[in-house]
Every structure is written in structure tokens, then in C-alpha cells.
Structure 1
Amino acid sequence: MTTTTTRTGVRRSAGAVALVLAASALLATGAAPAGATPGCTDETQPTDPILGLPTGDGCDDDTPPETGLTASATPNAAGYVATPTMTFAFTASVADGDPGPFGFECRLAGGPQAHDWQACTSPVTVTGQPDAAAGGYTFAVRAVDLGDRARTPDNVLVPPTVTDIPDEDPTPATVTWGQDTKAPFVFVTRSGYDEDTPTQPVMTSATVPLRLNSSEPGATFECTDNGRPTSCTGPRWEVANPKPGRHVVTARAIDRAGNASAWSKPVEFFVPRNLTRRLSPNRGWAKIRKAGYFRGDAIRAEKRGARIVLPRTAVGELRLIAPTGPGFGKVRLRVGRRDWHVVDLSGRRTPLTQVTVIDRYSGMRTGRITLESLSNKPVVVDAVVARPNRFPPAD
């Protein structure tokens, strides 16, 4: 009895299997190929409730999850960040109400820590990477429907009839960046030279050329003139028509990641004061123009006693800038009521001569600067340098 019962059971089981297989085959051959089903969120195949074998195809969830990604630092317009550490937080979202579960896969391109797709959880921190050019690193993350990825909607007992759309985000979220964590160096040099005061040259050109250089290519520059911000560009910068007086210029370099260098060592120069007819308290001076003069003009007198008076100032050094030539006369200068200093403008013809009237080692004095013609011979005066006797360190 026992043997008979067992055999009968075996025959019944085999018959059931044959019926299931026949039904599955009939489903597969008699129905149109299955495709994605609107609203499908579960790709589980239907199964026989007794035997647990597939009885047909499941539906395909053709709506993969979407990935959101945020980074702790945003690359600037040049594609750089200035930090050695980037932290990425990410999320998954669905538009069809799929309950999941969802997971993530991450990939890092560039640098010694690069890896292909691997399981990850939010947040992910990337740190210790060497500096790299823009585009040197790319972090990518994609959300994955973990439930559907473990299944296939196709009946495994018959040839595939359902196209199983991938169950991960086909458009991973990415952040691409370059990394620069080192501040640049800046170098400021001037081309003007003054033999008497090399660290404080007197500049008589219409523009003052300066060179700005950085240890990093592509850096921009920020500059100050006497402590006030002023626009500047590298590598060659010309200060156009600078105001009379002392100028102290500093600069710093800003690299492509936004790192700023320290401010440069100050670079100093001095711009003379142009002499004009408006400074004269009496008649006797006429304005003349010529390309070789400072600011393109000068004043001329042919009468003894023609006088120019400049505003009150502190003077540690006084220079007269004037042309010389055969037949020119003499002028004299003084500060306040101090002694007169005579300057002879006769001699070899020169367009622009700097004559030191009071050197910078003679002490300070304060007062109005008076310049006066000493004869009826013609004299031409162009500009004056009147400045305190500051002594910056040598270059």
C-alpha cells in the first residue's frame, strides 16, 4: 500500500508538472510578446500556488528611479574647487509610487582612489586626492531599484519575451571638478630706474609700466595704489596718467580656484608736479607745448622776476625738471623763507633734465615753494619733485 500510494503520488506530480509546462508553453506561444505595463512596480513572475513554478511572464517596471546629488563645494566658473575634501549627498526618487527598496552605486574617475561602479550609501566623502586640472575628477552616482534588479519578469521556463529595462537610473548624477589647494606667489616689478633714489624712482613718462607675474598660469590680479583698490592686469600693467605725488603699489594673485596669494612687497614711485601758468601770481610766464615735455607742456619766461609759487608742502627733497640749452638763463628756488638755491639752465641742449636742488639728506622743511627767473634770458621750466625724505629698504 505504501509503495502504491507513493507511485500514484509520483504520477500525479509528474502529470501536474506536465500540465504546468504545457500551460506555460501555451501562454508563451499563444500570446503576443509581453512588454512594459503601465503602473507596473513589481516585476515578480506569477507562480503556481501549490508548486511555486512560474505560470507566465511578469510585467516590466520601465520607470527607473531618479538620482539627486549635492556636493559640499561647487566648482567655480573655471571648474575648480580650493578644498582637498569633497562630500557628496544623494537621494532617490520615483514618479510611479514604487515602494522600492532603493540603493545606490557610485563611481569615481581620476586620481589614485578611482573606482568603477560599486555599492555606496549617502554621504560619500572624497579626500586626500592630489591637485588636478579642471575636469580631473568626476564623481557619479545612480539610484538602483534593488527589488526589481533581483528579479526578471520573463518566465524562466520559456524563451524570453519581455524586454527588461535596466533597474538603475540611466542618467547618473555627476559632479566634475579640478582641485587647487595651494595659494600662488606674486611678483611685482617696475621698469623705471632712478640713479639717485632707486627704490623711489621719479617717473616722468605718461604711463608707469609695471609687471605682474604669478607662479600659476591663468591667475588674475588685485592691486592697490596708496591703499586704494585699483584695476590691474598682468603680465604688463601700465598706470595711466598717475596723479602727482608718491605712489605705493601692492598686488596679489588669485589663481583659477580662487586661492589668493599674500600681498606683494610694496613697489614705490613718485610722479612730479606739472608746472602750469595758473601757478604764477604775476605775468611773465607763457604756456608752451612740445612732445618731449612732461605731460606735453611747460612754461617759459623771458623776464627777470617772473615768479611761480606752489602750495605749502613738506620738503625733504626738491628737484627741478627743465630743459637746458645755449642761451638759457638762471632760476632760483626756495622753500618757505629758507635760503635760495640757484639753477643754471644754460649749456648743452637737453629735452628733460632733472636737477637736484635740495638733496634728501639735508633735513625736512615746510613752506611754499617759490621759483623765480633771475635774468631776461629765456628759461623753460617743466615740473618739480617735492617730497619728504622717506627711506624705504633697498630692492
Structure 2
Amino acid sequence: MSHRRRRTIVLALLLGGSVLPLATAPPAQAAQGCLHDVPVVPILTPAGCDDTTPPVTELGTTAPRITASGWINKRTLRVGYTGRHSDADPDPIAFQCSLGTDPAVPTDQEWYDCPEDRVFRRITPSTTPYVLWIRAVDSADLSVRWSDGNLLSSNDEPVDDVDPTPVRLTFRIDNVAPDTRVAGLPRDPFRPDLPMVGTARPRLRLSATEAATFQCTVNGVDVPCTGGTTTLPALRPGDQVLQVAAVDRAGNVDPSPATVRFAVPANLAPRGRTPGWKQVRRRGYLGGDYLRSSRPDARMVLRVGRFRELRLLATTGPRAGVVEVRLGRRWQRVDLRRTTTTVHDQVRVRDHRAAPLPGRVEIRVVRGRVQLDGILAH
């Protein structure tokens, strides 16, 4: 408790019409090792007791968790804190708090009783850091105005009944979720809603309306990704659904993740020997290789799932050849000749609106030099 200034008081006894001054007693000393504050009262408690060991404040976890950069994403903060006595003091412990934006240690007037449920509510979102101070209080001793009983001295309680080293939390509030953007898919003249990529590891650009990290899934499975240009892990052939949610520095997650769809072709590299076809390893191609043949009637048979649309990933150009593709019982001619050379050209053999077919595709060379990299059957 705070020291208070004493005024000199002279007590007198009127005895026989004379005034006799009352002698002042020497200052009383508090008993050592006290666990409670007991004021000095002549005759009743002449020794008195001053508990000079305040309780200790200990900080626990918060909800929501304060991020490493000092942010929370709610206007309500629950704080776990406890207090303990470092001696055998059995007195109950209460807590005082101070919440504001001033980083200085609070004055006596700025402390108030902490909420009983340890929840601080309706905090205004701000980029200015909030500072929350918490200190443990010996509630039993705090209500006792300890005195040494000497009216002429100022030897009031020399040690307060509160933790002199309160704990401190600093945080800022952002409760607005970011918006996520995904770019980098190729423009597809056949299926703008489901473009075909030319690799099993497509590269995309991820961004958000504010600084953020990203959570990504492909077909519901978590995959690693980063902001800016990110390369997805190797994907299986077929249709893919990528969902990306930005997470800002306060932990706000985009509630409506960006969703994109695309299709990955299958590599045509042979499993074992395919007569008439040569496997050429080359960087930049699907699976790091492609198949080449100039032998008429060289064939390959592919097992795929039931499909509607069929595309070939091939090299087209003035010197490219011609192939035939068997769809069910019918052979369909596919001319790879173009006026200019395109290495990873998408050649559509069958429309996605066609009736589904069983999962078997056969390709044979008609004439010329044929270079095939992949196939999309879905």
C-alpha cells in the first residue's frame, strides 16, 4: 500500500489540572518471515507483521494464439495466467490488469481488476500494438493498511502486496480475411474451363490482397505451395481441382479459396519395348522424353479409363507425319502437318461432348515422321 504522510499528534492527559505529555514509544519492527500483514496495535499486536513477499505472476497460453509476428484475428482475447506464492503464504491471489496502447508500465490509477473469466472483449482492430499488463495480488494483505504503530514516523508498509514484475503481452488485431488469386494456367481454345497443361508439375502464380502464406489442395489432398511462382508436385494424369486459400499474418484464412481446374496428360513413354517407336530422352518434354517413329504401320496400344475427349500432345509442323487413331471400331486420321513447327502442340482427336468410349486407344503411323509426347483421355 502507498506510504502516507503523518501529522505529528501530541496526546495529553489532564491529571490534577496539569497537562502531561505522553512519551512516544520507539518504532515497532515487523516480525520476520511473516505470511500476513498485521498492523501494530499497542497491547493487542505490539509486534505486528508485514508480509514483504508479494506473489509471482505466471503467463500461460492465449486464444486465439498470438502469431510470431504479434497478431491475433479476433476482437476477443482469452489469456491464461496464474499466480503463486514463493513462500508458504496461504492467502488467496487476485489479479490486476491494464490494457492500452501505451508501452510504459501502468500507473497505480491505470490498474483494474482483471475479468474473472480471463477474457478481454470488444477490442478494436488496430495496427497499433496493444499492450496488456497482468500482475498477481495478495488480495488478503492488500486490504490491510499495515502500520508500525508509531504516530510520529512514516514507516508504513515498505513493500506492496502486488507482483513488482508484471507480465506483459503485446499484440495487434486484424480480423479481415485476405482474398486469394491464382494465375498461370495456359489458355485453352478447346476447354477454357478445363485447360490442358503440358507437364505433370505445372507452375502457377499465387497471390493475395495482402501479405500471406498459402494452403493448397489438389483433389482434396494437401500439397506444398508458396506465394509467387510455385511448382506443384508431380500429379497423376487426368482432371485436377486445385484449391488455394491465403492465410494472412493474423491467421485469417480466406473463407472462399480460389479454385481452378485443369487436366494433366499421360506420358507416352513405353513400358517395355514398342516395335517401331524410339524413346528419346529430352528435357522440357512430358516425363523428360517423347516417342518418335517414321515407320509406316508402327503401332502402340494404350490402356486408359473410359473417356469422351481425346487429345494428343505432339510436334506439328511442315515436316510432321500423319497417324490414325482407333476409337472403338473406327480409325480416325490425324494430320500433324502445319505451316509452322510447334513442339508441344495440342491436337484434338475427339470432342468432350461425344459419347463415352471404353478405355483402349490404338495409334498407328500412316506416313512421315511422327513425334508424340503425351495423351489426354478423359
**TM-score normalized by the length of structure 1:** 0.74
Structure 1 unaligned blocks of 5 or more = 1-5, 388-395
Distance 2:83 2:137 in 1: 6
Give the drift of 1:36: 7.0
Distance 1:284 1:302 in 2: 8
Say if 2:236 is the partner of 1:243. Answer: yes
Q: Could you tell me which residue of structure 2 aligns to residue 3 of structure 1?
A: none
For residue 189 of structure 2, the aligned residue among 191, 195, 198 is 195
Distance 2:92 2:370 in 1: 97
Say if 2:289 is the partner of 1:297. Answer: yes
Q: Could you tell me which residue of structure 1 aligns to residue 5 of structure 2?
A: none
Say if 2:178 is the partner of 1:184. Answer: yes
> Structure 1, residues 213-269: CA drift from partner, whole Å, max 9, x if none?
334423x32222122222222233211433222111112233444443334353111
For 1:305, the aligned partner's letter is D
Distance 1:156 1:7 in 2: 22
Q: Could you tell me which residue of structure 1 aligns to residue 54 of structure 2?
A: 64
SS in 1 for 2:202: strand
Say if 2:48 is the partner of 1:41. Answer: no
Contact (CA 8 Å) 1:41, 1:96: kept in 2 or not?
Answer: no
What is the number of equivalent residue pairs in this alignment? 360
Give the drift of 1:159: 4.4
Say if 2:262 is the partner of 1:269. Answer: yes
Contact (CA 8 Å) 1:209, 1:238: kept in 2 or not?
Answer: yes
> Structure 1, residues 132-169: CA drift from partner, whole Å, max 9, x if none?
45952414243145546653444544444677122322
**Higher helix share goes to which structure?**
1
Say if 2:227 is the partner of 1:234. Answer: yes
Q: Could you tell me which residue of structure 2 aligns to residue 390 of structure 1?
A: none
Contact (CA 8 Å) 1:89, 1:123: kept in 2 or not?
Answer: no
Give the drift of 1:93: 5.0
Distance 2:278 2:338 in 1: 19
Distance 2:354 2:49 in 1: 101
Distance 1:225 1:90 in 2: 42
SS in 2 for 1:128: coil
Distance 1:126 1:310 in 2: 65
Mapping of 1:360-375 within 5 angstroms?
Answer: 360-375=352-367
Structure with larger Rg: 1
Distance 1:199 1:322, change over 3 A: same
For 1:249, the aligned partner's letter is L
Say if 2:276 is the partner of 1:284. Answer: yes
Say if 2:308 is the partner of 1:316. Answer: yes
Contact (CA 8 Å) 2:97, 2:132: kept in 1 or not?
Answer: no
Distance 1:59 1:91 in 2: 26
> Structure 1, residues 80-128: CA drift from partner, whole Å, max 9, x if none?
44443345687765455557687653322249xx981135673454211
Give the drift of 1:316: 2.4
Distance 1:369 1:359 in 2: 15
Q: Could you tell me which residue of structure 1 aligns to residue 132 of structure 2?
A: 138
Q: Could you tell me which residue of structure 1 aligns to residue 112 of structure 2?
A: 118
> Structure 1, residues 26-68: CA drift from partner, whole Å, max 9, x if none?
x36xxxx95772336335224268xxxx9x8855431123446
Say if 2:115 is the partner of 1:108. Answer: no
Contact (CA 8 Å) 1:320, 1:383: kept in 2 or not?
Answer: yes
Q: Could you tell me which residue of structure 1 aligns to residue 15 of structure 2?
A: 8
Distance 1:137 1:187, change over 3 A: farther
Distance 1:297 1:168, change over 3 A: closer
- What percent of counterpart residues are identical? 30
- More deviation, 268-277/258-267: 258-267
Contact (CA 8 Å) 1:35, 1:162: kept in 2 or not?
Answer: no
For 1:302, the aligned partner's letter is S
Structure 2 unaligned blocks of 5 or more = 1-12
Contact (CA 8 Å) 2:99, 2:130: kept in 1 or not?
Answer: no
Give the drift of 1:317: 2.3
Distance 2:86 2:344 in 1: 82
For residue 208 of structure 2, the aligned residue among 214, 229, 239 is 214
For residue 84 of structure 1, the aligned residue among 72, 75, 79 is 75
Distance 1:284 1:104 in 2: 85
Give the drift of 1:307: 0.4
Distance 1:245 1:295 in 2: 15
For 1:167, the aligned partner's letter is D
- More deviation, 328-337/357-366: 357-366
RMSD after superposition: 3.8
Contact (CA 8 Å) 2:56, 2:84: kept in 1 or not?
Answer: yes
Distance 1:367 1:206 in 2: 21
For 2:51, the aligned partner's letter is D
